[in-house]
Structures are given as C-alpha cells and as structure tokens.
C-alpha cells in the first residue's frame, strides 16, 4: 500500500499591485523580528511590510517563541549579503511493515516543493537518501535523477562519519535554476524477498534535499528504534534545513554601469533606495541584489539604510580582527572619512600610512637610530648595573652574608667566580643540583665551583648560615673541603677543593677507562667513605648532620684512590630534617631510602641505606639500576634464595690461587651481608655508620692478617 502526501510551498505570491516602498521599509507597525529570527526588508510580515507585497512572510504566534513562515515552511534565517534564505522542508520516507511471515505493507511518503521569487540553491544543497534497499528519485518539471543505496547488513554499511557513497546512504548534487522539486520512491526497485530480509535491520528509508554538509551518516539511522526521524529533537521530526536563493526578480537584471566625468559609476535599481548603495546581478537565475557601497554597511533596500563604517573605531575595538582588514602603518594616525578612512603621518614623518611604504621618517633613519641607540644603551646599562647591584645585595643579605663574613668564611663575589672559572668555560660535572666548573685561584690552586641551575625553597637565614659554617669548618681526610662561597645569587655558589681523578662511579662503570680495582683498594675506598659519613653523623655540637645524596657519583677519588665524599647540596641539619616531614632531598632515586619516600622523614639511617647501595656497587661493579633491574632488589633476592650474593660478585676481584679466591669470597660475603643490613626496611635493624666502619675494618683485618691470602701489606 502506498500513501503519497504532497506539500505545496508558495514562497512568495506574485502580486501585480505595486505598494510604495516606504509602506514596509520604515513603517513602525512592521516588526523586525519574529521570535529569534530577524526579518530584513525587502521581506516583511504581510503584504504592506514587504517590497511591493512580493516578499511577504507570516509569524506564527502559537509557538513560544513565535516562528517565522514562508508559505507552509518555517524560516530559519534570511541573509541580505548573500541573498539566501534557510527554511525547513519535509523528509520523504518509505517503511516496510510485515503482516505475517510471507507478506508485508510498504508505506511511502513523498514530498514536493514549489517556490516563486526563489530558487533552490545548487551550490548550497545536495540530494541525500538513507536506507539499505533504496532507490530514491528527485524530479522537477525539467529534471529527473535518482540515488541508490544498499547494504547487506548493518556491519557492511558505511562507518559513522563516512561519506555517503551508496553503503547505507548516497548523495548527489542538484542542477541550478530549480523552482520546484519532488522527492519520490521507486516502489518496484526490489522484490518482496529482499524487503523482508532488509526489514529485519533497516525497516525504513529516507530521502531529502538539504543544506550541504548538514547530514553526517550514522549506522543507527538505519535501525528501527533509532530511526533517522529521531535526529530532529522535539520540533517537527521530519524536517531538514534547505537553502533558497532569493533576489529582486520583478525588474529583471541590473542596468549597465554609466561613465560620469571619466569615472565608472556603480549601477543602481528601483529596489536599491538607500544612498551609497548599488545593485549586482543575482548569481543564480535572473534578477539582482542590492549591496551597500564600499565603506558602508546596513540595509540597501531601506532609505538611509547604508551607514558609514568607522574603520578607525573598529581597529581600536578589535585589533586582531580589523587591523589587517583596515591597515594603517606605524607612525600614522587613523582618521575616519565618509565611506573610507585616512592614515595621516605623525610629526616627523611623511607619506601615506595606508600605502605599502607607509610613513617614512623626514630625518635620516640612521642618524635617529644612532642617537636613540646611544641614549637607550647608556640608560639601559645604568639601570641594569643598578638593578644587578640591588639584587646581589638582596641575595647577599638574604643568605646571611654579613654573619658569614664576620665568622671568617671566604666570601667570593659573582665577578670573582666568573674570573676564577674563565666565565664557566670548563664544566667537569653535572647533577640534579646543577653544574660543576673547574677554576683556578691565584693561578695555582685548582678548585671546583658548584653552580645551581634549579630553583627550590630557600632555607631560613639562620639554618643556611649554620649549614655553610658546618661545611666550611668540618675537617676530615675523606671529605671534600669547602673553600668558600658566593652569596650574590638566588642559590649560593660553593667553591670546593678539586679532586682530580673523578668519581667512584666513573672508575667503576666507565666503559672508556676501565680501572682494575683489587679487593684491598675497594675496601680502602669503602672504609674512607664510611668514616667521612660517620664523622658527619657524629660531628661535635648541638646538631648532627646528614648528607642526603650518598651515591658513587658523589664519592670522589684522588690520584692514589683516596676517597673524598662530596656534594653537600642535599645536606641539612638532622634536627631540621626530623622536624619538617616535607623536607625535600634532591637525590638519585636509585639510592634514596624507601622509608624516606613513604614517610618524608630523612635520618642518618637514610644515609646508611644509600651507602649500602654503594657497597653493592663496589663488590659487583654493577650500577644501582642496570637495564630494567634494581641492584639492591636483585642482591637481596639472591641472598634469600642462595644464602649469598656470589653469582653477582665482580669476577675481577678473584685471584687465580684457590686459597686467595676462597679468602676473597669470604670477605665479599661479609661485605654483602653488611650491605643487606644497611638496606633493611626497618631502620632500627640498620647499623650506624660507625658500626659500618668497624665491620669493614674487621673485614680488612681478616684479609690482611691471614698470610695465606698473600694480600700486599702496602694495600692493607
């Protein structure tokens, strides 16, 4: 069964009565809006409010807000500039409903559209059909075409967002100069068997002419309970937007342009009643549109409708948008004129600010530039020097410079450090704190200058003074000595003695310069480093200290492999570390105590944990993190499973003699067990650094005391 419903849309009735223009254009009884839609003249509500009664619309107040109609179709918007009107039009549909297992009913709804004074836009619309067994037809009095779409299943249809090329939907363009169309169906396109099969997953098909790019295909449009009709919300469920071209068609085309006093005048027509307006031929079909002249904006169909554009005010209100549209070069000032604007050059310049060359300086640019540069340079140098002095003084006072200077600590200026390091030309190390540069004091003593590159919270002055005082006064053979500091920067720069051979990390792990280390040398390095940390932890006075960044990279070696613990960048007073749970350590995460990470509390036992990792590096010659493996985790696991960590020991320590190898293995086992104790999760089970020193000395004594080991006394 087929039902065919025809909807007739008269867009504007051709009326022979020519009403005066003023009757609609300026009549206060003619509303300028209907609901949310503007109604620009020549359109109006009723014949008396439209141009010659030929562009009449109606406003339906039964809706809230009211809706604007042309004929039986709702108007979405009207554009004077492009000569376009967008309306809502009906969707044609065809649905198959089964009656029983062998028969069914096909219900078809076809729609047509016929307009006068309007044309269906060929460039802004397209014909679309949706379905899985569909042949939709589009025809007019002089045109006939169709669109086929099919899909054997929903899974075989186009994907959501794909172009409509025939799998679930199809689209085709329409020709120009159409004033009537009808969207219908070919009921004999497929047999009943195909309809029954497709009905199970796509019972309905839809077809319509609508605005280009309005429709995006979705597979759910083919499904019964998610049909295409549900796309349109709570308004008329079967309507889609269509773009119409309108023009003043009663007077034919624009008259030709005329030549007056050698200048070509813009053509005008009867509908273009505003001054500073002209007509242009319609882009589709016969007729014309009215436009405001260049430099004017508004409604050219209304007397006085085209008003001057104030380009200068627009430039001020929205520079990003209008400065390119209305250029006015630097060195000029914008002045508005009727239909245009001028850019007058400022004092001392000449030319045209709107031109390509703009406003040029009257005086030679080079002379002005030289004088201006000299004055600005002198002032800038003075300001920079003054600001730098103020900043340096601020940092000097903030960092306790007066107090430290009175205590006899060597204070360097920022300029002195630049000279000492030859403007930081020789970097010798880098860490989380920043970089270390080599320098020379008095052309003799070589030093290391630590220059921070990271920002952090600055210690209160009293705490910082105590920290620097501690580092300056502490004296131990196995600790890098602080020679002085510079307090004229945000984070003070520190000057240390230079230790020539580099870090233990490089000696152990550098691939470029592998250094063979005997067991005695490794013990000497371990004992010296441990003694330095024990000395720091038990330093005489009211407060003990922690290092905060113990690792092989911070244990430096001189030419005879004497270790010196360095990098006190993370060192803080124990009392401060214990008092503030958020006290932050900027250390290598491979060495940081897990208990500190969990609790935020850093103690001497946190240094013990880090030193345990260093001990493992010494006996295995593996980095704390190698590949995806963690040395502490692997070693502890090996000790639990096999009772020792022998399969991880560095084989270079072993001697060829079996008795020596056996003795070395026992010593390594004791060092490994000591390292495991240092890594205990319960900090109370970890030894102190003093206990670590004593146990390492016992290991050394065992290795040196047994003559069978034949360890050289010089190494012991």
By DSSP bridging, strand 56-60 and strand 44-45 are parallel
List, in order, residues 6 or more apart from 429 with CB less than 8 Å away. Answer: 435, 436, 448, 503
β-pair partners for 264: 259
C-alpha 380/C-alpha 368 separation (Å) is 18
Collapse the DSSP code of 387 into the 3-class scheme (helix H, G, I; strand E, B; otherwise coil) and give the result: helix
Tokens of 453: 């590159």
Tokens of 181: 């169309």
| Stretch (H or E) spanning 204 | strand 204-211
Count of other CB atoms within 10 angstroms of residue 165: 12
549 is catalytic: yes
Phi and psi torsions of 523, nearest 5°: -65, -40
DSSP class of residue 78 equals: E
Cα torsion angle, 653, 657, 660, 663, sign = positive
Cis previous bond, 65, omega within 30 = yes
275: Cα separation from own chain's centroid = 51
Rg value, the chain, Cα: 45
Judged on CB neighbours under 10 Å (0-12, 13-18, 19+), 225 is exposed
On whether 344 is known to bind a ligand per the annotation, the reply is: no
C-alpha 382/C-alpha 376 separation (Å) is 10
Measured between alpha carbons, how far is residue 39 from residues 42, 67, 275, 355, 501 in Å?
9, 12, 21, 40, 88
Query: Annotated catalytic residue: which of 245, 549, 567, 593?
Result: 549
Which of 204, 240, 230 shows the shortest CA–CA distance to 90?
A: 240
Count of other CB atoms within 10 angstroms of residue 440: 15
List, in order, residues 6 or more apart from 236 with CB less than 8 Å away. Answer: 74, 88
Judged on CB neighbours under 10 Å (0-12, 13-18, 19+), 512 is exposed
Tokens of 31: 């509303």
Measured between alpha carbons, how far is residue 63 from residues 214, 354, 418 in Å?
25, 52, 81
Among all chains, which residue has been given the structure tokens 């020379």? 440
Collapse the DSSP code of 239 into the 3-class scheme (helix H, G, I; strand E, B; otherwise coil) and give the result: strand
C-alpha 231/C-alpha 219 separation (Å) is 13
Active centre residues (catalytic): 549
Binding residues for ATP: 450
Binding residues: 450
């Amino acid at each position: 069964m087929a039902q065919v419903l025809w909807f007739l849309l008269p867009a504007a009735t051709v009326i022979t009565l020519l009403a005066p223009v003023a009757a609609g254009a300026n009549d206060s009884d003619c509303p300028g809006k209907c609901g949310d839609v503007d109604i620009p003249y020549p359109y109006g509500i009723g014949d008396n409010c439209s141009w010659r009664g030929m562009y009449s619309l109606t406003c339906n107040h039964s809706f809230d807000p009211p809706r604007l109609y042309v004929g039986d179709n709702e108007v979405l918007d009207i554009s004077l500039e492009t000569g376009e009107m967008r309306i809502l039009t009906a969707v044609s549909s065809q649905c198959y409903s089964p009656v029983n297992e062998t028969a069914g009913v096909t219900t078809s709804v076809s729609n047509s559209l016929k307009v006068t004074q309007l044309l269906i836009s060929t460039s802004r619309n397209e014909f679309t059909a949706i379905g899985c067994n569909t042949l939709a037809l589009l025809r007019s009095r002089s045109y006939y075409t169709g669109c086929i779409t099919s899909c054997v299943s929903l899974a075989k249809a186009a994907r959501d967002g794909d172009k409509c090329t025939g799998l679930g939907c199809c689209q085709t363009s329409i020709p120009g100069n159409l004033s009537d169309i009808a969207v219908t169906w070919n009921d004999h396109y497929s047999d009943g068997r195909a309809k029954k099969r497709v009905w199970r997953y796509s019972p309905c098909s839809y077809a319509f002419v609508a605005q280009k790019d309005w429709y995006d295909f979705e597979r759910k449009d083919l499904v019964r309970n998610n049909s295409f009709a549900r796309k349109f919300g709570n308004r008329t469920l079967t309507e889609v937007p269509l773009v119409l071209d309108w023009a003043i068609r009663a007077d034919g085309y624009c008259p030709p342009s005329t030549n007056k006093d050698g200048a070509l005048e813009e053509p005008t027509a009867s509908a273009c009643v505003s001054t500073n307006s002209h007509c242009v031929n319609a882009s589709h079909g016969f007729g014309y549109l009215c436009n405001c002249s260049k430099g004017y904006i508004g409604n050219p169909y209304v007397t006085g409708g085209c008003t001057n554009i104030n380009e200068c005010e627009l430039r001020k209100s929205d520079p990003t948008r209008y400065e390119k549209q209305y250029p006015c070069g630097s060195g000029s000032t914008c002045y508005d004129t009727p239909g245009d604007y001028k850019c007058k050059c400022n004092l001392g310049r000449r030319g045209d600010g709107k031109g390509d060359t703009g406003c040029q300086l009257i005086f030679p640019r080079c002379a002005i530039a030289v004088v201006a540069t000299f004055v600005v340079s002198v002032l800038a140098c003075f300001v920079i020097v003054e600001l730098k002095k103020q900043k340096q003084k601020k940092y000097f006072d903030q960092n306790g410079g007066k107090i430290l200077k009175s205590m006899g600590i060597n204070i360097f200026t920022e300029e002195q450090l630049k000279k000492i390091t030859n403007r930081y030309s020789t970097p010798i190390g880098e860490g989380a704190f920043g970089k270390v540069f080599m320098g020379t004091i008095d052309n003799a003593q070589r030093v290391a200058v630590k220059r921070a590159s990271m920002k952090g919270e600055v210690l209160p002055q009293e705490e910082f003074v105590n920290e620097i005082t501690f580092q300056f006064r502490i004296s131990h053979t196995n600790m890098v000595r602080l020679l002085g500091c510079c307090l004229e920067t945000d984070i003070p720069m520190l000057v240390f003695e230079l230790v020539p051979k580099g870090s233990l990390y490089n000696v152990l792990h550098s691939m470029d310069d592998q250094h063979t280390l005997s067991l005695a040398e490794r013990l000497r390095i371990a004992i010296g480093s441990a003694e330095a940390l024990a000395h720091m932890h038990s330093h005489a006075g009211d407060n003990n200290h922690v290092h905060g960044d113990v690792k092989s990279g911070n244990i430096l070696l001189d030419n005879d492999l004497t270790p010196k613990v360095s990098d006190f960048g993370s060192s803080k007073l124990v009392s401060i570390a214990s008092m503030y749970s958020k006290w932050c350590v900027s250390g290598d995460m491979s060495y940081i105590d897990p208990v500190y990470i969990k609790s935020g509390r850093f103690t001497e036992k946190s240094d013990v944990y880090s030193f345990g990792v260093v001990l493992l590096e010494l006996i295995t010659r593996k980095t704390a993190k190698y590949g995806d493996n963690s040395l502490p985790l692997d070693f502890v696991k090996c000790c639990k499973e096999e009772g020792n960590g022998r399969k991880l020991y560095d084989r270079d320590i072993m001697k060829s003699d079996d008795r020596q190898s056996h003795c070395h293995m026992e010593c390594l086992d004791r060092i490994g067990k000591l390292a495991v104790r240092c890594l205990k999760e319960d900090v109370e089970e970890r030894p102190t650094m003093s206990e670590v020193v004593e146990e390492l000395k016992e290991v050394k004594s065992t290795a040196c005391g047994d003559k069978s080991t034949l360890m050289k006394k010089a190494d012991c």
